[in-house]
Amino acid sequence: MPELKDQISNLIEFDSYPKRIISLVPSITEYLYDLGLEKEVVGITKFCVHPSNWREEKEIIGGTKQQHLDKIKDLKPDLIIASKEENVKHYVEKLSKICPVYVSDVNGFDTALEMMNDIGELTGMSEKTKEINQNIRQKFDSIKKPNSNIKIAYCIWKSPWMWAGNDTFISKMLAYSGFKNIITENRYPEIGISEIVKDNPDYIFLSSEPFPFQEKHIEELKAEFPKANFIIVDGEMFSWYGSRMLKAPEYFNSLLDQLKTE
């Protein structure tokens, strides 16, 4: 029966494969769906938007930062899946008293596939995981990187302005696509937009999530910084690990083609 250490070295062990799973991580929720675990998943967060029908069919147990513990207890889960970055340690510790909690700690391509292998093993879906991971590797090999790196800054939030730092999964996806992240700090530093513009990146990417940047924000910024190049990018493609990585390379290639014509 499954036994392994999660990505923060907690031992996870079962007498049988879990039958009642709760996911606190939107990108992993999508991955569980693609593994075919529709019956096993009983609870998700309000931010788990893929697949869309699960928002009606599964119990919503709160958000990624706060969960309804009583509602989770009532669901009688035998596995909860969490993220070191997206979820709150205080809540995860409380949840670990209800049932085993697998905590992911994904910060790049390899740790994403490692997490997927772990969940495949825990749920008895290792063969399906191998198939998905092989397809991901092939698709990432097909990315048509430019001859020279395109300098960018990747914005995730407004008021305050926050950016994807050098040690993030987002930054690793940028590098895979041939972009050079000009943000050298780790995690998600707060840096004023005027400072970023002064550093003269080729493009400033405004992500569609977690802050929902739209074209109106570009219009506002262009009025203040007419010479800077702002582009809205799909945040799910850059920040969602799991089976969303099957779709990301095609998006990256499309984005690179778009930038060639600008």
> What is the structure's pLDDT at 51?
98
- For the chain, the residue count is 262
**Per the domain annotation, does 105 fall within a domain?**
yes
Cis peptide before 212 (omega within 30 of 0): no
Reported in sequence order, the residue ranges of 28-185 that DSSP labels E, i.e. its strands, are 41-44, 59-60, 79-83, 101-104, 150-157, 162-163, 179-181
Domain boundary among 98, 120, 139: 139
Do 44 and 169 fall within a single domain? no
> What is the structure's pLDDT at 148?
87
Domain boundary among 98, 114, 139: 139
Is 156 strand, coil or helix? strand
Q: For the chain, what is the domain count?
A: 2
> What is the structure's pLDDT at 38?
98
**Per the domain annotation, does 132 fall within a domain?**
yes
12-18 long-range contacts, Cβ below 8 Å, gap at least 24?
12/79, 12/100, 12/101, 12/102, 12/122, 13/100, 14/78, 14/79, 14/100, 14/122, 17/122, 17/123, 17/124, 18/77, 18/78, 18/79, 18/122, 18/123
Mean pLDDT of residues grouped by 10 in the chain (262 residues)?
Answer: 91 95 99 98 98 97 97 98 97 97 98 98 98 98 92 98 98 96 97 98 98 97 96 98 98 95 72
Asked whether 126 and 106 are in contact (CB, 8 A), the reply is no
Do 203 and 171 fall within a single domain? yes
Amino acid at 121: E
Domain boundary among 117, 139, 161: 139
Do 13 and 120 fall within a single domain? yes
Do 11 and 134 fall within a single domain? yes
* Residue ranges making up the domain that contains 60: 3-139
Do 82 and 25 fall within a single domain? yes
Amino acid at 230: F
Q: Residue 83 has which token pair?
A: 């993220």
Do 231 and 129 fall within a single domain? no
> What is the structure's pLDDT at 260?
84
**Per the domain annotation, does 197 fall within a domain?**
yes
The domain that holds 103 is classified in CATH as 3.40.50.1980
